[in-house]
Amino acid sequence: MKLYDSPHAPNPRRVRMFLAEKGVSLPTVSVDLGKLEQKSADFAAVNPLRRTPALELDSGEILTESVAICRYFEELYPEPPLFGHDALERARVEMWQRRVELQFFAPITHAFRHSHPAMREMEQPQIAQWAEVNKPRAVDFARFLDAELALRPFIAGDAFTIADITALAAADFAKPARIVFPDELTNFARWRAEVSSRPSAAA
């Protein structure tokens, strides 16, 4: 297998963190989004939707979508479980993963794509108002998470899961999106410091 990976972008980072938590390492091919390498004909043959990451299996089949790749590795390497360990826990993890994706990760990436000068070619047209509308939505969700994180150590419960990976990738991507989380979100800050100190956060 090999992984088509890109530095800096939050989705490939989710897969790298996931693999690091599983203790799995893979050969990688770097696709430089800054040089629009994902738009090349070569990469279109890998993923016609022209996004990273992508996983090439030994059969030659390509799997795309970060969470699909993570889910595949969860089945190959079940320990430690990062999607939950029974039916109800897996449902809770999926709920939190999706809440984080739809109401935190998405607003942050919209704010970034529609405001950052580096995205001028990739996101056409950039709509400044859409970027601005999304910034307070991300902060509102961080406030909601802050209240939840007063009740438990990790986003979906007592164990670190993919929901924490998605939330950390999003929270760190808030910086280039020019979104600032208020200092009073102390539970959110405690959670963020803890997950940031895991070796996988540097993957």
Nearest-approach distance from CB 68 to a second copy, in angstroms: 4
Q: Where are the alpha helices (H) located in 27-113, listed in sequence order?
A: 41-46, 66-76, 87-100, 106-113
CB contact at 8 A, 113 and 153: no
Q: Single out the residue of 9, 17, 19, 69 in contact with a second copy (rule: CB under 8 A).
A: 69
Question: Which residue's CB is nearer to a second copy, number 76 or number 202?
Answer: 76
44 sits near a second copy (criterion: CB under 8 A): no
Strands 2-5 and 54-56: antiparallel
Question: Which residue's CB is nearer to a second copy, number 112 or number 201?
Answer: 112
Q: Single out the residue of 1, 26, 63, 203 in contact with a second copy (rule: CB under 8 A).
A: 63
91 sits near a second copy (criterion: CB under 8 A): yes
Question: CA–CA distance from 182 to each of 112, 124, 137, 167, 189 (Å)?
Answer: 19, 31, 13, 16, 10
Stretch that binds a second copy, among 13-21, 89-97, 168-176, 188-196 (CB under 8 A): 89-97
Distance of CA 160 to the CA centre of its chain: 14
Cis amide bond preceding 53, omega within 30:
yes
197 sits near a second copy (criterion: CB under 8 A): no
The residues that touch a second copy, with contacts defined as CB under 8 A, are 48-49, 57, 61, 63-65, 67-69, 71-72, 75-76, 87-88, 90-92, 94-95, 98-99, 103, 125, 127, 129-130, 133, 144
